[in-house]
Amino acid sequence: MPLKVEFLFDFGSPNAYLAELVLPGIEWRTGVKFEYVPVLLGGIFKGTGNMSPFDSLRGIKNKPEYQALETQRFIRRHNITKFRQNPFFPVNTLMLMRGAVAAQFEGVFEPYFRAAYHHMWEEPKKMDDLETFRNAFTSSGIDIDRLIARAQQDDVKKGLIDRTTDAVNRGAFGSPTFFVGKEMFFGKDQLRDVEESIVEQTSQLVSKTA
């Protein structure tokens, strides 16, 4: 069987946005395709007792500034030009993430995904406001009313809950999280290790079938 490689994301995480921009290069170099898994970061935090850096670093001296420096280094290293801080951060992403599951079920995930990240981190908006949410996706050519209706159905709600619960059960505590087979990696700064693991595990699979 081919190696299973997963990207667990929540649109509310700027680090997940930045990491995702690097994934196509890893796919091209290794020949794998990442499976994109929507999870609800708030649910992961609740399930693990974790909290976002926005909350955990409040009042701490030096560490937030260093993390901002590391982010700028990552942006320069990968020549990222479209990223903008969202002035409404943090944003409640329940609508966005249910929409992602609905879009997967309806076969329109790729355009929905691109539009969501565009309106969160490239032309940032308050995407937990329903009118803003609807107008943003409509401007990107998405039939968002259909997805909003679909997102209210029980299978979509359960799908997001199940993906989030499974993530916690497998060891996740934030976003972005990556799985290469059963091996977990957290954070955009682990992408070089993710790629190394893909190469190593792919080589092992080839050796076993040779």
Distance between CA atoms of residues 152 and 183, nearest Å = 33
Which SS3 state, helix, strand or coil, does residue 39 take?
Answer: coil
- Give how far Cα 95 sits from Cα of 50, 99, 113, 179, Å: 21, 6, 13, 25
Quick: pLDDT tens for 89-122: 999 999 999 999 999 999 999 999 999 999 999 9
Distance between CA atoms of residues 104 and 122, nearest Å = 22
Q: Cβ of 167: how many Cβ atoms within 10 Å?
A: 26
Tokens of 204: 């092992």
Quick: pLDDT tens for 21-64: 999 999 999 999 999 999 999 999 999 998 877 777 788 899 98
Q: What percent of the chain has pLDDT over 90?
A: 89
Residue with tokens 């997102």: 151
Q: Phi and psi for 92 in degrees, rounded to 5? A: -70, 120
Count how many Cα atoms sit within 13 Å of the Cα of residue 196 in the half-sphere of its side chain. Answer: 5
pLDDT of residue 210 exceeding 70, the answer is no
What pLDDT does residue 2 have?
A: 85
- Provide mean pLDDT across the span 192-196: 98
Tokens of 162: 């199940």
